[in-house]
A and B are shown apart, each in its own frame.
Chain A
Amino acid sequence: MTANSTYAPDAAPSGEAPDFPMPRTCPFAPAPEYVGLRAEAPVSQVRVPDGQLAWLVTRYADVRRLLTDPRVSANRFHPNLPLTEPVTPQTRRNIAAVGRSLIGLDQPEHGPQRRMLIGDFTLRRAQEMRPHIQRTVDECVDAILAGPKPVDLVAALALPVPASMITKLLGMPYEDRDLIVRSADAQLRRTVSAEQRQQTSSELRAYVDRLVTAKEAEPTDDLLGRLVVQNRQTPLFDHDMLVGLAMLLLVAGFETTASMISLGVAGLLENPEQLAVVTGDPAAMGLAVEELLRYFTVVDALPRVATADIEVGGVTVRAGDGLLLSFASANWDTDVFADAGELDVRRGARHHMAFGYGIHQCIGQNLARAELEIVFRTLFTRIPGLRLAEELDGLPFRKESNIYGLDRLPVTW
């Protein structure tokens, strides 16, 4: 195949390439197929929902290497970029909205955009956010303790905490938090109809557009306001790109963090000896969060496109071929993480790829860490008798989804 040719799904014998995403079977483990693929076929072809073929990369070393390879592109507009959800007009619109900002850019365009933002995402800034996060979590736990049992922890804690953080970060009025929660909830739940989903999504987009317009008219002292001011000095973004970036920050930091909160709580409750380690020693929480991030790896795999022929894992990926780099598989690679299938909060491994690797590595990772630490510490300290109100296996895990999570987490105490 030559560069720029369209990837022809029919070129490979049909029936050979398995479908992707590969569903999970155990609520706490990535798709079981990854084990065999890492051993036998670490770079192998899969078929994504729109019928296109792509190379699934499952070993830690290969995923990490490709993420820093300049021949690997994150271009969201490339026709061969393997999308892991069925392509609807809605997905196309979402991609078009965020694709020109950060996550869909290669060098040299990526660096200047990213550098305009990183001052707002330093470790120091994340620490300064802690009192705000703590207040939010305390309010949620107050409401949980005052309310009926059992309670759904997704609605009562996992969604409001990241919503409140994002609202504060972007400089949105506090009252607008509900809109974000409703919209994320609509995207999350499978019971919500496609039309409803589309409607909340357009509502959110219109809202973000108004927000950006307001910041452009009168820049306030928050991330978006500062960005507008910087952008006047060094113009990089037009209005639509600013809206896209604000949307990206909204969605990238929300569902992921919410998923990690509910999965982390479920993971600790199901492993009481691990929970005892962190409740016994508050200093252990930092590394416990790293381990939960590795263990659950909520962003299962992300798409890329090769822009030149690349030898990897015993195959030649051709220029123009789609790639799916599996963080979930990489993080369970036993060549790198001994007993990777065990949740071990004392593992002390920071080199997991739950936040990706390379130039796109999560910009919000230190905020996410702060949120998760505060949530777990506060919840288990204030409600020591917390337990699942239903059997783990029966809970609505999003086993088919590329962003893993839970629709609902009923708990009692």
Chain B
Amino acid sequence: MTLVVNRDLCIGAGQCVLSTPELFDQSEDGRVLLRRRPVDADEGRAAVDLCPSGALRLTDDTRSRPVVPDRDAATKGWG
């Protein structure tokens, strides 16, 4: 399982930061940031379930990458 973050879908509800602050943060512009590499995909599971916008996803496809070609390391799909 891979945790995929798509900042373009983020609506800044902050559910991820509220539920899993050790893993997620919000940038000044209000969008999600990954603080670090998740230990495993399970670490992000609660936030993925809470995220209302589809910005956080778990996928089986190990080759999957963020939909947005973003160079920012914080947005990479990890897991």
Pick out which of these stretches binds chain B: A117-125, A129-137, A139-147, A382-390: A117-125
Of chain A, the residue at the smallest CB distance from B31 is A118
Question: Measured between C-beta atoms, what is the minimum distance from A107 to chain B in Å?
Answer: 10
Q: A337-361 vs B: 1/0 string, CB under 8 Å? A: 0000000000000110001111101
Question: Measured between C-beta atoms, what is the minimum distance from B17 to chain A in Å?
Answer: 5
Question: A350, B18: Cβ atoms under 8 Å?
Answer: yes
**Is the CB of A168 closer than 8 A to any CB of chain B?**
no
Q: CA of A115 to CA of B54 in the docked complex: distance in angstroms? A: 15
Question: Measured between C-beta atoms, what is the minimum distance from A369 to chain B in Å?
Answer: 8
Question: B30, A351: Cβ atoms under 8 Å?
Answer: no
Q: A44-69 vs B: 1/0 string, CB under 8 Å? A: 00000000000000000000000110
- On chain B, the number of residues with a Cβ less than 8 Å from chain A's Cβ atoms is 21
Question: Measured between C-beta atoms, what is the minimum distance from B59 to chain A in Å?
Answer: 17
User: Which of A119, A123, A124 lies at the interface centre, i.e. has the most chain B CB atoms within 10 A of its CB?
Assistant: A123
Q: Which listed residue, B17, B29, B50, touches A115 by the CB 8 Å rule?
A: B29
Question: A359, B14: Cβ atoms under 8 Å?
Answer: no
Question: A363, B13: Cβ atoms under 8 Å?
Answer: yes
Contact residues on A (Cβ < 8 Å of other chain), bracket: 20 to 34
Question: A361, B49: Cβ atoms under 8 Å?
Answer: no
Contacts of B14 in A (CB 8 A): 121-123, 126, 365-366
**Is the CB of A362 closer than 8 A to any CB of chain B?**
yes
**Is the CB of B52 closer than 8 A to any CB of chain A?**
yes
**Is the CB of A114 closer than 8 A to any CB of chain B?**
yes
A118 and B29 in contact, given A68-B54, A358-B52 (Cβ under 8 angstroms): yes
Of chain A, the residue at the smallest CB distance from B49 is A351
A118 and B52 in contact, given A123-B17, A123-B18, A124-B26 (Cβ under 8 angstroms): no
**Is the CB of B12 closer than 8 A to any CB of chain A?**
yes
Of chain A, the residue at the smallest CB distance from B19 is A350
Q: Which listed residue, B13, B17, B29, touches A361 by the CB 8 Å rule?
A: B13
Q: CA of A356 to CA of B50 in the docked complex: distance in angstroms? A: 11
Q: CA of A366 to CA of B8 in the docked complex: distance in angstroms? A: 21
Question: B30, A121: Cβ atoms under 8 Å?
Answer: yes
Question: B50, A122: Cβ atoms under 8 Å?
Answer: no
A115 and B53 in contact, given A121-B14, A361-B11 (Cβ under 8 angstroms): no
Question: Measured between C-beta atoms, what is the minimum distance from A147 to chain B in Å?
Answer: 36
The A-contacting residues of B in range 40-66, CB under 8 angstroms, are 46, 49-50, 52-54
Q: CA of A67 to CA of B30 in the docked complex: distance in angstroms? A: 22
User: Which of A118, A350, A355 lies at the interface centre, i.e. has the most chain B CB atoms within 10 A of its CB?
Assistant: A118
Q: Which residues of A line the B interface, CB within 8 A? A: 67-68, 111, 114-115, 117-124, 126, 350-351, 355-359, 361-363, 365-366
Q: Which residues of B line the A interface, CB within 8 A? A: 8, 10-15, 17-19, 26, 28-31, 46, 49-50, 52-54
Closest 7 CB pairs of A and B: A118-B12, A118-B30, A361-B52, A119-B30, A122-B26, A123-B14, A361-B13
12 A-B pairs with CB atoms under 8 Å apart are: A68-B54, A114-B11, A115-B11, A119-B29, A120-B30, A121-B14, A123-B14, A126-B14, A356-B52, A359-B11, A365-B14, A366-B18
